[in-house]
Amino acid sequence: MTDEIVGIDLGTTNSEIAIYREGRPEVLGDGQGRIILPSMVGLSATGELLVGEEARNQFLLYPEHTVRSIKRRMGSDARVRLGDRDYTPQEISRSSCPG
């Protein structure tokens, strides 16, 4: 049994992921050390899944391939189109938290 606990704060605009290990909490950052991650998910022009900062980077160019503020639709029956598939808000939220 591991003594590591991961907590995710899924926000409407930004999210944070923290881990509790060796008796202390630590907020995890992305590859560039940023601890505040945009709550965005997208598909690149080549069909790769983009999460957080990378999804936000392409938002102006491909808004139709980028989803943001999905938290507002959580719990509803809405379907969100991403690429050639429809997803529930819960599925999009799961993608936006890779940790």
Binding to another protein by residue 57, rule CB under 8 A? yes
| Interface map 6-25 toward another protein (x if CB under 8 A) | --------------------
Residue 28, number of CB atoms within 10 A of its CB: 13
- 32 forms beta bridges with none
Q: Which C-beta is closer to another protein: that of 31 or that of 77?
A: 31
Q: Which C-beta is closer to another protein: that of 63 or that of 75?
A: 63
Residue from 37, 30, 31 nearest 52 by CA: 37
Q: Give the three-state DSSP class for 49.
A: strand
The conformation of residue 66, written as its DSSP 8-state character, comes to E
Q: Which C-beta is closer to another protein: that of 42 or that of 89?
A: 42
Distance in Å, CB of 64 to another protein, minimum: 11
Binding-site residue total for another protein (CB under 8 A)?
16
Q: Give the three-state DSSP class for 45.
A: coil
What token pair was written down for 91?
């599925």
Residues that bind another protein (CB under 8 A): 31-33, 42, 44-45, 50, 53-61
